[in-house]
């Protein structure tokens, strides 16, 4: 880990760009769904299934692939995975049938989960611990800007030149960022030297596993609640909030831009007040979504509520990513990042499924309240387990006469 206090902003921005192209590749089909369905002669729901298949592949493959590749160079593994993203985008661009497109998305999912398991720990090796939340906020900005710029620009390109051209251009952009990684990111030593007593403790008995599990459970609750409502925000905004159909794009852009503000705030306060930042953000999400459910019946109220929701939510993925890396001992950081990626994707799919069931059975108006209930549960779980989480990643105790590597808890 870097000991210098100088913040490696440029290197982190290169890593952020790599994340930008990864997330843009994942969600590009959402904006091109009608065009793809029409040309390939399948239903729009079948194209939507490409997102589900991608997320499902991430869930089942991330942990085993992380274990299999744990001894490989982090930098060159990242380059290889970016090459896989370029290849899958190229396959999408030339896919003659829906089945080939489906195979390409499975390959993309295999690369995506491992990519996230590599990038978080890699960023942590570039900075000292007291800069970790700030570093993760910079790198996670790539994911935020994928929604603000990447997917909208890819969609516009697809509408102008055809959806295949959008995937082809995306493949080229991924190659550019792979070259930037080769040129500007340094090799890092991710292998941990263990004391004799630590070697005697198998990984499955690492005390910090409990702390990692607590963070992942928080993610599952938070993202399930969030996605149970956000997945269906367009029909809710139109039918309940009174937003004109052609105003939804602007609403989503405002939501994405507000999320960037939340990410900046997470970078400013996350290192100084890590526990309070998560608690305040969760409480703010609950209050904002509840306000939308109560008074979101006019366009101004919907815009205000969604902007507030996004400001509070925008920094939470970065804060929780930093928290899981703080919580894990160094020898399980890769597995911790893989577990967090799995938790996010499980909740993304589960939240969309839950929201769909609620929509079919109870209508749109119930969605914000179901989200409030689940995110409130996430808030309560976080408060109730925080002492347990901190205790779980204090330095492990070893037999007299042995020394172990201390894991410093966040404040």
| Residue 7, pLDDT score | 87
Query: Would you write out the chain's pLDDT as a tens digit for each of its 411 residues?
Result: 444 468 899 999 999 999 999 988 887 876 676 788 889 888 766 776 777 788 788 888 888 898 898 888 889 999 999 999 999 999 999 999 999 999 998 999 899 889 988 887 888 888 887 888 788 888 988 888 887 788 778 878 887 888 999 999 999 999 999 999 999 999 876 554 444 444 445 556 777 888 899 999 999 999 999 988 887 887 888 889 998 877 877 887 788 889 889 988 988 898 889 889 999 999 999 999 999 999 999 999 999 999 999 999 999 998 998 888 888 887 777 788 888 888 988 888 788 888 888 888 898 899 999 999 999 999 999 999 987 777 765 544 333 333 333 333 344
Q: What is the pLDDT of residue 203?
A: 56
Q: Which pLDDT does position 351 carry in this prediction?
A: 85
Here the contacts of 232-239 (C-beta below 8 Å, separation 24 or greater) are 232/355, 232/356, 232/359, 232/364, 232/367, 233/306, 235/364, 236/364, 236/367, 236/368, 237/302, 239/364
Which pTM does this prediction carry?
A: 0.75
Six-digit token string for 390: 């901190």
Place of tokens 């900075």: 127
The pLDDT value recorded for residue 188 is 78
Supply the pLDDT for residue 372. 97
């Amino acid at each position: 880990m870097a000991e210098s206090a100088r913040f490696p902003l440029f290197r982190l921005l290169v890593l952020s760009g790599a994340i930008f192209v990864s997330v843009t590749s994942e969600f590009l089909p959402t904006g091109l769904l009608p065009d793809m369905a029409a040309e390939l002669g399948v239903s729009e729901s079948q194209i939507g299934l490409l997102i589900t298949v991608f997320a499902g592949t991430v869930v089942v493959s991330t942990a085993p692939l992380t274990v299999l590749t744990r001894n490989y160079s982090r930098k060159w593994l990242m380059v290889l995975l970016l090459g896989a993203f370029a290849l899958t985008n190229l396959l999408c661009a030339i896919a003659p049938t829906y089945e080939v497109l489906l195979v390409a998305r499975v390959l993309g999912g295999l690369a995506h989960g491992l990519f996230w398991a590599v990038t978080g720990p890699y960023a942590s090796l570039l900075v000292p611990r007291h800069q970790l939340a700030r570093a993760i906020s910079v790198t996670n900005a790539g994911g935020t800007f994928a929604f603000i710029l990447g997917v909208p620009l890819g969609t516009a390109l697809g509408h102008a030149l055809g959806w295949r051209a959008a995937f082809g251009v995306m493949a080229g952009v991924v190659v550019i960022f792979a070259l930037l990684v080769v040129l500007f990111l340094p090799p890092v030593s991710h292998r941990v030297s263990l004391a004799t007593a630590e070697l005697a403790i198998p990984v499955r008995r690492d005390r910090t596993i409990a702390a990692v599990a607590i963070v992942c459970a928080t993610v599952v609750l938070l993202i399930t609640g969030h996605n149970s409502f956000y997945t269906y925000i367009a029909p809710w905004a139109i039918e309940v909030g009174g937003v004109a159909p052609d105003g939804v794009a602007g609403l989503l852009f405002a939501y994405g831009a507000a999320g960037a503000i939340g990410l900046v705030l997470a970078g400013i306060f996350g290192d100084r007040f890590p526990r309070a930042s998560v608690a305040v953000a969760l409480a703010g999400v609950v209050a904002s979504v509840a306000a939308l459910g109560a008074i979101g019946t006019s366009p101004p109220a919907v815009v205000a509520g969604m902007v507030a929701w996004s400001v509070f939510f925008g920094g939470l993925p970065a804060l929780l990513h930093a928290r899981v890396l703080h919580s894990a001992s160094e020898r399980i950081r890769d597995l911790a990042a893989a577990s967090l990626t799995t938790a996010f994707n499980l909740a993304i799919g589960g939240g969309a499924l839950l929201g769909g069931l609620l929509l079919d059975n109870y209508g749109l108006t119930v969605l914000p309240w179901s989200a409030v209930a689940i995110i409130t549960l996430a808030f309560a779980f976080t408060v109730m387990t925080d002492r347990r989480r901190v205790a779980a990643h204090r330095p492990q105790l070893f037999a007299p006469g042995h020394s172990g590597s201390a894991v410093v808890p966040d404040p």
